[in-house]
Structure 1
């Protein structure tokens, strides 16, 4: 879980994601499958949520599962959320679920993530 204690760089994330990872986002209704789409969503989250106020406030380590509670501020709105993570015997993340609260924070995250993902897609086109 070193990635979650330091800089959130793409190479470090790529190294710890299973090729068939399942990502569940608070802004997308269906699970997203595979490393490329998970990298895209987590990269966008890092760009939108990962400002100077972002911090993990509690970590529940349960062996091959963990829950990491985070807080950050976006546009004057306090965002409180959790990352629920599972990994395999090789230490690769197989399941990554993000939940966010309260409703005002979900709306703020949704708008920011939508804009970031559209920007990322435009750069790739």
Structure 2
């Protein structure tokens, strides 16, 4: 079982954030442009943790070299059943440098887009806070 799956299922957000490379890229199922950087990727994943209810992984597929993982899940968003997949790519250090999420059906994707849209003000505050904490003080 990949540590990402273990952390999601346990609701361990600190462990999740520790799995991302600094140059991680998050590709959303509902937004065209990918989000770049660990801070925004981690903040989006925290937002998703607030939106998805009853998430459970039903299958995990791993490439022969162990650097690509497909984690198939089922969850609920605003009362709608969501089927999806988290595609992970690991860098040379074993950190996630690419996370792509796909979901179906369309009604659930629309519900997810709406629910995540409602999270984005908080996500932006979290990213601003992370960047402020990481800034050097003169």
- TM-score, normalising length: structure 2: 0.81
Residues 1:76 and 2:50 aligned together: no
RMSD: 1.8
Structure 2 gap segments, 5+ residues each: 130-138
Q: Which residue of 2 aligns with 1:101?
A: 104
Equivalent-residue separation in structure 2 for 1:120 and 1:20 (angstroms): 18
Equivalent-residue separation in structure 1 for 2:103 and 2:76 (angstroms): 12
Match of 1:12 among 1, 10, 15: 15
Paired residues of 2:89 and 2:97 also in contact (CA < 8 A): yes
Residues 1:3 and 2:4 aligned together: yes
Residues 94/119 of structure 1: CA separation in 2 closer, same or farther (3 Å cut) = closer
Q: Which residue of 2 aligns with 1:32?
A: 35
Match of 1:66 among 65, 69, 92: 69
Structure 1 gap segments, 5+ residues each: none
Deviating beyond 4 angstroms after TM superposition, the runs of 4 or more aligned structure 1 residues are 122-125
Residue deviations 1:24-80 (CA, integer Å, cap 9, x gap):
01122101110011011111111101x2x2100111011110000110122331101
Residue deviations 1:62-121 (CA, integer Å, cap 9, x gap):
111000011012233110110000001211001100001110000110111011122444
- TM-score, normalising length: structure 1: 0.89
Q: Which residue of 1 aligns with 2:50?
A: 47
Residues 1:117 and 2:109 aligned together: no
Q: How many equivalent residue pairs? A: 123
Specify the structure having the higher radius of gyration (Cα): 2
